[in-house]
Amino acid sequence: MDGNGRWASERGLPRHAGHRAGVQSVRSTVERCVQLGIPYLTLFAFSSENWKRPRQEVSFLMELFITALRQEVKRLLKNGVRLRVIGDLSAFPIKLREHIREAEYLTQENSRLQLLVAANYGGRWDLTQAVRRLSAEVVGGRLTLEQIDENTLSMFLAFEGIPDPDLYIRTGGEQRLSNFLLWQAAYAELYFTKVLWPDFDTSAFDQSLMEFARRERRFGQVLSPKSPSVQD
């Protein structure tokens, strides 16, 4: 969800105004996913690299996270949305962690949409912690080297049990992954748009879905021109 700061600067506003405006885009995107029956939505809210931003901005983002959790829980319950926050939460303030746990608990029975919020998350962190946990299983004799394959490693990732993403959207005009879902996005369709996140409304989201629908997904294989079946 890129472009909050630039959105604010273009309007002569402080950066935190862009972050506040971005909350509405989160709300509209979540609601649209519920309307369309999309079962999973993952939002990259705070990367492990974002700690390098000015301290005042980081503090504001922490407070905004708490405020959003307070305000949105009732809306999530009403729409049948389950919230899960994925990442290394140990670095967050205790107050924020408590609000996260409460929101996750209150929405755990919801099943219309799983809203996954990646916070203090990074793709390299995810792979590193997975390898550490996997190594501990080997050292402890609970797993052998011969048993390790892609499926085994996936079980130790932070997004374990969650399907890999089909569509990967980045707003704000940048065309890179920025250390997000490095393992999971191996076959995701990448969609880059110059629209800044606070301007990413339902219309912009629908445009990304229409572009996705036009693409031919082969997953490394070749589609026969004479048949819709997949050929080797």
**pLDDT at residue 231, rounded to an integer:** 37
The stretches in the chain having pLDDT less than 50 are: 227-232
Helix runs in the chain, H state only:
4-10, 15-36, 55-78, 94-106, 123-139, 150-154, 202-214
Q: Say which residues have a Cβ less than 8 Å from residue 139's Cβ, sequence separation at least 6.
A: none
**pLDDT at residue 89, rounded to an integer:** 93
**pLDDT at residue 225, rounded to an integer:** 56
222-223 and 230-231 strand pairing: antiparallel
* Residue 79 bears catalytic tag: no
Q: What is the pTM of this model?
A: 0.89
* Residue 2 bears catalytic tag: yes
Q: Per the residue annotation, which of 50, 164, 179, 201 is the catalytic one?
A: 50
**pLDDT at residue 219, rounded to an integer:** 77
CA 174 to chain centre: 17
| pLDDT, tens only, 197-216 | 999 999 999 999 999 999 99
Topology (CATH level 3) of domain 4-121+167-214: Undecaprenyl pyrophosphate synthetase (3.40.1180)
Map out the domains of the chain as residue ranges. 4-121+167-214
**pLDDT at residue 140, rounded to an integer:** 97
Q: Is the dihedral of CA 211, 215, 217, 221 positive or negative?
A: negative
**pLDDT at residue 83, rounded to an integer:** 96
**CB 206, CB 29: distance < 8 Å:** no
**pLDDT at residue 227, rounded to an integer:** 42
Beta carbons within 10 angstroms of residue 185's beta carbon: 17
